[in-house]
Every structure is written in structure tokens, then in C-alpha cells.
């Protein structure tokens, strides 16, 4: 806000930049590595309600329930 003097604004900007550089970015990098290296490889190739018992019936029910599709 304009009510913050230039010196205080510079300090806050420096501290916010440091917090992002030292905290946020490393956390995102760690999450990305986990997601790409551990999580995605463990996911099944094809997913959907049709994989469940009577899944085709369930899919048809929800299609009728929430759309105009038979």
C-alpha cells in the first residue's frame, strides 16, 4: 500500500523474496520430484469408475442422473 514508506517497502520486498527463494521454491522442487519420481509411476495407466465392480452400470446411472444422456 502507498501508506508504507519506501524503506519499509524495500525491507518487506527483500524478506518476501528471501522467503520465496529459500522456502517456497525448494518445497515446490521437492514436491515435483516426489510427484514425478514416486507418485506418477505408481499410478495405474487407466482409471475410471468402469474399473469397479458393476462400474459400467454405475457410469450409466450417473450419466442419466447428472446429464440428459441415456
DSSP state of 38: I
Q: How many CB atoms lie within 10 A of CB 60?
A: 13
C-beta of residue 63 within 8 angstroms of C-beta of residue 69: yes
Express each pLDDT in 17-69 by its tens digit.
Answer: 999 999 999 999 999 999 999 999 999 888 888 889 999 999 999 999 999 88
Quick one: pLDDT at residue 46?
A: 86
* DSSP H helix total and E strand total for the chain: 4, 0
Predicted local distance difference test score (pLDDT) of residue 1 = 80
pLDDT of residue 57: 94
A 10 A CB-CB count for 21 gives 10
- Spatial contact of 26 and 20, defined as CB atoms under 8 Å apart: no
Residue of higher predicted confidence among 26 and 70: 26
Amino acid at each position: 500500500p502507498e501508506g508504507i514508506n519506501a524503506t519499509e517497502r524495500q525491507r518487506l520486498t527483500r524478506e518476501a523474496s528471501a522467503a520465496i527463494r529459500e522456502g517456497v521454491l525448494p518445497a515446490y522442487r521437492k514436491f515435483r520430484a516426489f510427484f514425478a519420481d514416486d507418485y506418477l509411476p505408481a499410478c495405474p495407466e487407466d482409471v475410471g469408475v468402469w474399473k469397479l465392480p458393476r462400474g459400467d452400470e454405475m457410469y450409466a446411472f450417473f450419466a442419466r442422473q447428472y446429464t440428459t444422456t441415456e
